Every structure is written in structure tokens, then in C-alpha cells.
Amino acid sequence: MMQKKTTCLIWAWLCCTALSAGWAQVPEVTLSRDSSGWTLLRHGETHPVLGAGAKANFELLQSSGSNSIRLWSTNKAALLDSAHARGMSVMLGLYLRPERTGMDYNDVHAVQGQLAELKQEVLKYKDHPALLLWGIGNEVDLKYTNTRVWDSVEALAQFIHEVDVNHPTSTVLAGIDPAKVHMVRTKCPSVDVLGVNAYGSIEKLPLNIRRFGWNKPYLVTEWGVNGPFEAPRTAWGAKKEPPGGVKAATRLRRFEDIIASDSAMCLGSYCFLWGQKQESTATWHGLFLSDGQPTEGVDAMQRAWTGGWPETRSPAILDLQLNGEGWRKDHVVRSAEDMQLKVNVEDHGAEVVWTCALFPESTSTKTGGDRQESLAEIPTSFEVSQGPVVEFTAPAQSGAYRVFVRACNATDQCSSANLPFLVSSQKN
Amino acid sequence: MMKTWLTLGMVCVWLTGCGSMQVTPLYDLDLSPTPEERVSTYAYRDIYLDEVNSIMFGHKAHPCKQVDVVRKGSMEGADHLRVEWSQSDSCRYLGVGFPWANHVGKNLKALEKTAAIQFHIKLEQGTASKIPMFFALIDYAGRQATSKINLLDVEGQTFDDQWRKAHIPLSAFRAASRGLNLENIKELRIEFQRKGCVHLDGLRIVPFDHQEEKLSSRSRDVCESLPMDLDQSKLWWGIQEEALSSAVSWSDSHWPPFLVLNHDPDGKNKEWNAFGVALNGWEVLDMTAVHSHSALTFRLEGQWAPLGISIWSGKGKPRQIQTRLTGQHCLQMDEGVWSCAVPIKSMTRHEEFNWASTREVRVTMLRDTDIRLHDFAWEDYRGHPEKVERWLQSRQP
């Protein structure tokens, strides 16, 4: 009798232990839906994604109010630790080779090899405490023709659900259209969240998400100012980049009016890019300059994430004129012509230091954020006077060029702007 | 009698025997070499065996890369290679090269489908499912083709501190599509990215069973004849389910169902001013054979309103062609009833459009609209593109 009682007690204890240790455990990250819409919960608490595509400057990112970073692949997985050390979460990318880089999704061996590799990556990182969700592929839909790529996305999403109940899955599209939404919806039912990289197209993103029939939550996985691929061009094909101050204002408006306004379906966003990269120019997408200085874009993101501005504001270049004509115009000049660049800057009452540089125009035709090489500067003498006005002499050699100006304050916060021009012997 | 039976029996045996006789290919023996023979007779199969017997470049002291010849713990031969690298902006290209067989031009063409580059590889520590290194074959014209290691071709499908045999099938370089001349190969290069450390040994060409399985490319769907009904059975977007408050919805009160377009530019659903239909389940449809003598046709009922009609392609430029529906596209049938046709040839830039990749028809409501759209279809059109009314009249009973 005594022995029976003991056995029962042991069983009861075992059951309780199992329940508390495993069965009753809440997944780390979940999606919940109520009448007001979708919410992302992390450890049971609402976790609106206030994120950035970031590989450095984590301290400033955290103090600016961000709570998450996006990594495009597991190649820099050490950054999971950096994020975790600051209490930030990570959207971790599983890099599926896009068709445009030569991957053939009809090649069974290549596809299976890629899946085998990525499944091991899932097993390796699934228990990392910083992990928020998986990003399966980035822009695999860009210029693609073979819809079998969605089978790989689904295979990985299914695998993740089998081995990792703690984190949702997503795939990231290069903008949306009805066809892409249909493909993900029907071919990838194991994808929980749609990631969308949207630059100019962010303006209608909440509407199009609904019109095209997506009925799960979404994340804006890359956003910022209109990309070089959407920019107006000069007659000789150079892209016109808005000045830094204009870009920062655009970022803030897009966050407040579009991302934060769609709380029903949008789980948050990752701004692009908390760092610097060469994409047509060295300053297009980066919130930092190539030497590491933060720009007014960083201030705008702090305002977006926290509702407040930083104590010391970065200067912001609002307009740029070459020989009296604005940055939106085409500028054609004579060989060795004297040039005058007039800058309108909001300096927030601080003194700014100006630097200028001249570069040949980029001829890169790469797309989808594929890596572009930085260009070599052309040694040029610039004279900066009150106004501020920058004077310099155009190159003697005909061709397409781009002049950059940069204004930095005493705390090394900077704004930059640039303007393309053509040196032509044909100019009257 | 006995003799007769015996003879008959022998004839039977002879006939049966003839019928079951095999043709012996006395002179048709397949004498072509097996893959193993082809590789074993290939003179230049050893790429790197050890320092003494092989040629290598890219091993000199470098700020971002260190290549050592290690004499302990080799998998085969007297030594093996240890490469440690760390890529930075100042050193983008990191690699080592093997112009094996004393720089002669190597002809790998005959081996392409049956051989692989084999090597032994191990990490210094830890495990990994990928190593940021690529293999490149370079021909004497300077053209190159690269391939990475497919994890399925690595022994145990992982990298760790144990020697593991790995293969790169020669076909994985996809020489033809990259313009590489496999008949005149100069060297093999191994390129390194990001950061890492590996040990390599015994690089050689070996027979290899290529696991080549290619799914056939999805055949292009071709539209060979019209009409095509653009009805509720197709995939639509921009249609709201709640009919009462929506801008665009299906009405099931009649058969076949029709579309109710109810757009108020100042109303709650003002942004829902467009909708579209997939012609082929969102895959592209080749309309090359039929588009030039065709039109989009439909019947409108209600208050006349201009509509934007566009056709979208999955690729090419222009990605869309469009027109604005005017009275000239329609024939009034009754009070508030119009029969309409939009001939494809009346749409600007229709000649430049990629008809092989047609995907969608889209409708945009350009101002306040209260109209029913019936019998939407893509039909044959045998009339003048500018004289739509005449063609519509000719269709009347």
C-alpha cells in the first residue's frame, strides 16, 4: 500500500515538473490577433519593432530608441551577441541565393544543398536569446522568373516550425505586387509574417497589402528615402539625390504617417541603413557618413522612435544650387568653368565646418542593394565663403561628375548633399 | 515412325533455339572508357599534393591572409595547406592559385560530366555548415567560372576539426554559360571572403557521380485562341468582401455575377479605386499569337464614368500599356447601358509590350463611379481600332 502511494506521488511530481518545465512554457515570440489587429509578443510582452538594418553604432542605436536590428544572413551572426548585450532583438536572415546571382531553382542538387546548409544554420541559432524572427531570403523575387524559389522558402519555413516553436517565420519581398503576394500566400503557407522592402512604394504599402489580399501581419524590413533605382535622372542618366535634410524629413514623415499609423497589420520596421554603403552614391541610404559621423537622419529616427529630438541636433542641408540652379535641374558646364555652389543649411544655431569633394559619376548597374565599389576622389581645390558658397573649377576633361558638400558641427554630427553635373565641350 | 518424331522434335528444337538466340555484337563492343578510366588516364589529375610536387601562388606574406605549409597531421603526402584570412576594405581580394601541371593548358571538357575536384578540408576549431570560400577555374583567355562547395558533396555534410572529403563537380562551374573554355584551363583559384581558417589537402580530379537532376523549366502557357472570360473564376485583387461599404465587389444577384464599381473620391474607401485580374493564375501567359486582333470587351450599366484600363506584363519595358475608356470605345444600347470594346491596337506602345509575358488586366476608377461591369472578356476583334462603334454595331443581332 505504502509502495503504491509512493509511486503515485512520484508520478504526480513528474507530471507537475514536466508541465512547469516544458508543456506549460510559452514560446518566446508569438503573434497574437484581436479586434484591433496583429501584435508581436516577446516573452509575453508587446514588442513593436523599432528596428534598423545595423552592423555597428549599437550604442547610439539603443540610445536613439531602437529595440531591434535586422541581419540579412548568418554571416555576421556575432552581431546577435552585440544586440543581446543591449537587450535588443534580431530579425535573422537565412540567405537564399537569388536567381539573379546565378542560382538555378530547377537544379535539385543545388537547391537541396542550399537547404541543407540553411537548416544547419537554423539549428545553430534557434536558441539564441536575441532572436526575434527568421527572414527567409531577401528579395529573391527581384528580377526572378522561376517561381520554384517559393518552394525553398516554404521548405525552410516548415522546417523552422518543426524545430523552433519559439520564433515566427518571414520572407522578404522587393516591394509588392498582386502576383508576389499571391505566390507567398499560396506557395508559402508556413510563412507567418510578410517582410517588405519598400522605398518609394512605401507610400501605398498599407493599402496595397490589403488590396493584394495579404491577411497576415507584415513588417517593413527595409525603408528610407526613395532608392537610386526610383530617382529622377539627368539627361545623361545621373541620379538626383535629395539633400540630407530633405531625406531626413521624408524618413520622419514616412515613419509617422505610414508605419506607425498601420498598427492593425504592421508589426514595425527596420530602417535602412544604420551605417553607410555605396549605392549609386556613398550617402544615399546611409544614416552615417563614410567616416562614421551620424547625420540628421539619425536625429529623425530618434524622433520617430521616442517622440523626442536629441539634445544636440545635426546640421541639415535643405537645398543645394549650382550656378544659381537647384539640385533638381540638369547642370551642364564647360570644361574648366568656374563653379559656384550655394548651400541652404539648418544649423540649429551651431557653427558648422564645411568639406567638399569631387568624384566621377558612378557607372554601376547593380541592383537590389548588391555590393557596389566606392569611387576614387578627384583632387580639387574648393573655397568656402559666407553664405555658405563653395567655389571650385570644373574638371578640364569632359564627362559626368558629382560634387559633394558636407557640414559638420562641433560634436561631429553631419549633413551632406551632392549634385551631378556634366562637363561638356558642346555647351554654348 | 520413331525417326519421323525424332526429326520433327529436332526441327522444333532448332526453330525454338533460333527464336531465342541472342544477337552477339561481335563488332559493336562499347570500347569507350568508363569515367574511372577517363580520369585515371588523364595526365593532369593532381592539382595540389604537397609543397614539393605542386605549384601554387598567393602564399606569400599578406596583411589579410596567411598561408602555411603544415607538415603535421596531413591527410596524405608530406604536408598540407593551412589558410587563415580576414577580409577588409584594404584587401578585398584574397586567394590562392594552382596553375597545376606546370602551367600547361588543361583540357577538362571530356571530364566535365563525370569528374570532380576532390580535396580534404577541416576547420581549426568548431563546426560550420558553410565556409566563405569559392573555387574558380580560369582559362587562358582570362575567363573564369566559380562554384562554391555544396554541403551535400561534403563527407558527413558538415565542416569541423576532422578531415572531410569534399567534391566540386566540374559541371558545377557551368562553364558554357559563363564562357569558360574548359579545353584550355590555366589554373584553379580558391578565393576567400570575410574571415576564416581552413586546412586543405590533396586537391585532385577524380571520377564523380554527378547528382544532376534538373526539373524541367515550367513550360510557357500559351493563349492560342480567344475569347477568354475574365469572370469570378479568375484570381482578382482589389475586390472587397463586404459588399455594402466597398468600392468594388461582386454581385451574386444575377448569373453570371457582375462587378459593382462604387467609388467616391472623398469617401471612406477612396483609395480602393483600382482592381485587377490575373490572366493565368499570376503566372505569365503568352498572348503573342492573339493580341494583335483582339479587344477587351464588357458591358457597363449605370452612370457613365471614365475608367483607366491597363494590361500588365511580367517583364520587359513598358511593363504596362494603358488607355482611358471614352465614349468612342462604347455603343449605347439603352438608357444607362453601354457595350464597350478596347482594341489592343488602340493602346499606345502596344508594339513594344512583351506579349509573351502578359499577366494582368487592371481597371482604375478615375473619378466618382457608380456602375456595374458585366461580361468582362478578352475577345477576337476584327475591326478598325479607331472605329469601335462600327464593330460593336456589327455584333448586334
φ, ψ dihedrals at B208, nearest 5°: -150, 130
Residues B199 and B242 in one domain: no
Residues B199 and B257 in one domain: no
Q: Which residues of A touch B (CB under 8 A)?
A: 75, 102, 104, 106-110, 112-114, 116-118, 120-121, 124, 145-148, 178-179, 181-183, 204, 207, 211-213
Instruction: Give the CB-side neighbour count of residue A137, counting CA atoms within 13 A.
Output: 32
B241 assigned to some structural domain: yes
B305 assigned to some structural domain: yes
Name the amino acid, one letter, at A423: V
Residues B196 and B231 in one domain: no
Query: What would the pLDDT profile of B287-342 be if each residue is shown by its tens digit?
Result: 999 999 999 999 999 998 899 999 999 989 999 999 999 999 999 999 999 999 99
Closest CA to A309 of A318, A323, A322, A298: A298
Q: Which domains, ranges and CATH numbers included, belong to chain A?
A: 26-306 (3.20.20.80), 316-423 (2.60.40.1220)
B293 assigned to some structural domain: yes
- Give A-chain residues touching B172 at CB under 8 angstroms: 110
Min Cα separation A270/chain B (Å): 24
User: In the numeric block, which cell numbers belong to residue B203?
Assistant: 586537391
B18 assigned to some structural domain: no
User: In the numeric block, which cell numbers belong to residue B61?
Assistant: 606574406
Q: Quick one: pLDDT band at residue A95, thresholds 50, 70, 90?
A: very high
User: In the numeric block, which cell numbers belong to residue B165?
Assistant: 572529403
CA–CA gap between residue B329 and residue B323 (Å, rounded): 10
Residues B309 and B265 in one domain: yes
Report how many domains make up chain B.
2
Range of the domain at B171: 35-207
CB contact under 8 A, B237 and A211: yes
Q: Are B360 and B311 in contact (CB under 8 A)?
A: yes
Min Cα separation B325/chain A (Å): 23
Q: Which of A314-323, B87-96, B211-220, B364-373 has maximum average pLDDT?
A: A314-323
CB contact under 8 A, A116 and B278: no
First to last CA, chain A: 111
What pLDDT shows up at residue A13? 52
CB contact under 8 A, B217 and A117: no
User: To the nearest 5 percent, what fractions of chain A are helix, strand and coil?
Assistant: 30, 30, 40
- Give A-chain residues touching B211 at CB under 8 angstroms: 108-109
Residues B198 and B269 in one domain: no
The reply to whether B211 touches chain A by the CB within 8 Å rule is yes
Residues B83 and B149 in one domain: yes
What pLDDT shows up at residue A244? 97
Name the amino acid, one letter, at A90: V
B19, pLDDT greater than 80: no
A116, pLDDT greater than 60: yes
Closest CA to B200 of B34, B58, B67, B300: B67
Closest CA to B377 of B269, B277, B270, B262: B277
What pLDDT shows up at residue B16? 52
Q: Quick one: pLDDT band at residue B12, thresholds 50, 70, 90?
A: low
Higher pLDDT, B60 or A231: A231
Residue A364, phi-psi category: left (phi > 0), alpha (psi -120 to 50), beta (remainder): beta
What pLDDT shows up at residue A19? 41
First to last CA, chain B: 92
Using CB atoms within 10 A of its CB, is residue B369 exposed (0-12), middle (13-18) or buried (19+)? buried
Residues B279 and B342 in one domain: yes
What pLDDT shows up at residue B395? 85
B158, pLDDT greater than 90: yes
Min Cα separation A98/chain B (Å): 15
CA–CA gap between residue A257 and residue A249 (Å, rounded): 12
Residues B187 and B227 in one domain: no
Name the amino acid, one letter, at A131: L
CA–CA gap between residue B338 and residue B382 (Å, rounded): 20
Residues B362 and B240 in one domain: yes
A13-22, A380-389, B74-83: which has the minimum mean pLDDT?
A13-22
Query: What would the pLDDT profile of B369-388 be if each residue is shown by its tens digit?
Result: 999 999 999 999 999 999 99
Return the bridge partners of B191, or none: B95, B134
Min Cα separation B280/chain A (Å): 11
Percent of chain A with pLDDT over 90: 84
A241-245, B2-6, B125-129, B248-252: which has the minimum mean pLDDT?
B2-6
Percent of chain B with pLDDT over 70: 91
What pLDDT shows up at residue A401? 95
Return the bridge partners of A29, or none: A42
SS3 B388: helix
Residues B147 and B257 in one domain: no
User: In the numeric block, which cell numbers belong to residue A13?
Assistant: 511530481
A26-35, A246-255, B323-332, B377-386: which has the minimum mean pLDDT?
A26-35
Query: What would the pLDDT profile of B94-108 be if each residue is shown by its tens digit?
Result: 999 999 999 999 999
Give mean pLDDT, residues A320-324: 95
What pLDDT shows up at residue A24? 40
CA–CA gap between residue A196 and residue A173 (Å, rounded): 5
Give mean pLDDT, residues B345-363: 96
Query: What would the pLDDT profile of B255-264 be if each residue is shown by its tens digit?
Result: 888 999 988 8
Q: What is the ipTM of this complex?
A: 0.84
What pLDDT shows up at residue A20? 42
CA–CA gap between residue A119 and residue A51 (Å, rounded): 26
A83, pLDDT greater than 70: yes
Give mean pLDDT, residues A316-334: 96
CA–CA gap between residue A94 and residue B298 (Å, rounded): 47
Last residue of some domain: B184, B207, B230? Answer: B207
CB contact under 8 A, B271 and A106: no
Last residue of some domain: B174, B207, B240? Answer: B207
CATH of the domain at B273: 2.60.120.430
CA B285 to each of CA A283, B313, B315, B347: distance values in angstroms, whole numbers, following the listed order: 41, 9, 11, 19
Q: Quick one: pLDDT band at residue B270, thresholds 50, 70, 90?
A: confident
Helix axes A244-254, A296-306, angle to 10 degrees: 20
Name the amino acid, one letter, at B240: Q
Q: Are B344 and B350 in contact (CB under 8 A)?
A: yes
Q: Quick one: pLDDT band at residue A393, thresholds 50, 70, 90?
A: very high
B283, pLDDT greater than 60: yes
Last residue of some domain: B178, B207, B236? Answer: B207
What pLDDT shows up at residue A21? 42
B19 assigned to some structural domain: no
Q: Quick one: pLDDT band at residue B212, thresholds 50, 70, 90?
A: confident
Q: Are A220 and A186 in contact (CB under 8 A)?
A: no
What pLDDT shows up at residue A115? 98
Residues B189 and B237 in one domain: no
Residues B240 and B359 in one domain: yes
